[in-house]
Amino acid sequence: MAKKIVGAKKSKATRSAKRSRLAEDLMAGLDELRDYIAGKPTKVIVHTVVPSDTDAREARHKLGLSQREFAAVIGTGVGTVRKWELGTRRPSGAARTLIKVIKREPKAVRRALKDQMAS
């Protein structure tokens, strides 16, 4: 006895209608972009993002560590350190504080984390 699965497949007409709507939205967006680039008035909203300087790279260099080593010492991922250094992400409050301490007192941090930095 075969069981009928309800709602498993959408009709071709439904999929086609969704694609057509998506295609129309994309084309309208491209037309609006073309007008914006040409300097014509549009309803485009432009967001400018300026990454903030975190000084993570400076702190890492003061300890003489690679990104991978620095990430291990402060307990985060190497990808996170890369994003901090690129300015695409900002360290959390605790990480920002640790970075500030490292910048001001790298020798003290080296002494405090000596065992952790040796591994």
pLDDT digits (tens, 9 = 90+) for 6-45: 555 566 666 666 778 889 999 998 999 899 999 998 888 8
pTM of this prediction? Answer: 0.53
Whether the Cβ atoms of residue 66 and residue 82 lie closer than 8 Å to each other: no
Instruction: Dump pLDDT digits (tens) for 55-89.
Output: 899 999 999 999 999 999 889 999 999 999 988 88
Better pLDDT: 82 or 48: 82
pLDDT at 119: 58
In whole angstroms, what is the distance from residue 36 CA to residue 16 CA? 30
In whole angstroms, what is the distance from residue 28 CA to residue 51 CA? 31
What angle is formed at CA 72 by the lines to CA 61 and CA 97, rounded to 5 degrees? 65
Q: What is the mean pLDDT of the chain?
A: 83
